[in-house]
Amino acid sequence: MSATDTLLGDLDSFQDRAGLDYKFVRYYQKANRILCWRIDKDGFNSKATCLGLPARVVDIKTLKGLDIWDQMSEISQQAIDQSIRVVEAEVGSRMENVRKARKARSEYAHIPRVIRCSECDEPEDITPGVFVKKAGLLCKDTREEREKISTFMNSYKCSRCQPRRRGRERNPLYINIPRSTPCSDCGKDCVINAKQLYELTKGKKDAIDKYCKEYLCRSCNPDWGSWLKGKNRKGRGRKAKPENEGFPKKAKCISCDKEVAIVPDNIRGKAKILKVTVEHLLANYKCRSCGGVVPHKRRKKKV
């Protein structure tokens, strides 16, 4: 038993028209509100919130069970009764519309609802709309259509006996484009971008075959990514700024002989603060552990 049930166990339980749980405390006639505890349950835990619940959200039968109905004014009783009638009328109208929408279509009367696999003979439920689409029917009870139904049922195979390919169908423009091709140099199997190749070859089969025959992967293609692969410089990564070309990437500490990675802009800024040249700073460089920290001016505290 939870702590909420232990503390509020003596109070009467009731529900509003939305199905929420409450514990009754008392009824205030002037405000037409019910002082109660709302019980919110979350698995094995529950939380109680004290509030003034409007009496109009509770049905008449519950109000009578809590001895509230007789204490209410005639105007309040009429308002609650009228609101309940309006809600019931709206629900009835919606249900009537649903029943009309679900009315059976007479043109599906001759369409089977169960179909058997031609290999494993397992029955399978099928909706008339799906059956009509797969069999290519016109929903007319004619001799020709019944022959189509018989032919489709005799050749039908379930998804276990004939697995279907999942996903959307491929664009018919790419029918001549293979999904992958081997590299003409190293033989590695590479995926082809169909849209890109179609725009390049205009869908011509001879041009596609020539492209696949001469295809080179990124590792073997000398014209791909030249700025990364070292045509103009060695190493990988982003191009250096023109002013940083030839700038050393590491500096050696004169105290502990440790090599420290440096950033050109930071070194220039440090040299400016110390009022020395960049060459002098690099020649006399000290790491942080050896005291190579730029002194900063202390800010005066505001009084």
- pLDDT tier at 300 (50, 70, 90 boundaries)? low
Rounded to two decimals, the pTM is 0.33
Q: Is the dihedral of CA 95, 101, 103, 104 positive or negative?
A: negative
Which pLDDT does position 174 carry in this prediction? 87
The pLDDT of residue 30 is above 90: no
139: region left, alpha or beta (phi > 0 left; psi from -120 to 50 alpha): left
**Dist. CA 4–CA 47, nearest whole Å:** 7
Q: Residue 80: what pLDDT?
A: 86
60 three-class SS: helix
- Asked whether the beta carbons of 131 and 90 are under 8 A apart, the reply is no
- In this structure, how many other beta carbons lie within 10 angstroms of the beta carbon of residue 72? 17
Mean pLDDT of the chain: 83
Every domain of the chain and the residues it spans: 3-88, 106-155, 177-237, 244-290
Q: Which of 120-124, 208-212, 228-232 has the lowest mean pLDDT?
A: 228-232
Structural contact between residues 5 and 15, judged by C-beta atoms closer than 8 angstroms: no
DSSP letter for 176, please.
T
Mean predicted confidence (pLDDT) in 191-218: 90
Q: What is the pLDDT of residue 182?
A: 93
Q: How many CB atoms lie within 10 A of CB 1?
A: 6
**Measured between alpha carbons, how far is 243 from 265 in angstroms, rounded to an integer?**
10
280: its two tokens: 């002098």
Query: Can you read off the two tokens belonging to residue 186?
Result: 């190293």
From 195-199, 234-238, 297-301, the region with the lowest mean pLDDT: 234-238
Query: Is the per-residue pLDDT at 234 higher than 70?
Result: no
pLDDT value of position 183: 92
Mean pLDDT across the stretch 190-200? 90
- Please give the residue that has the higher pLDDT: either 87 or 248: 248
Q: Which of 6-10, 62-66, 208-212, 236-240 has the lowest mean pLDDT?
A: 236-240
**Per-residue pLDDT for 43 more than 70?**
no
* pLDDT digits 0-9 by tens, 61-113: 889 888 999 888 888 888 888 888 888 888 877 777 766 665 556 778 888 88
For residue 100, what pLDDT is reported? 65
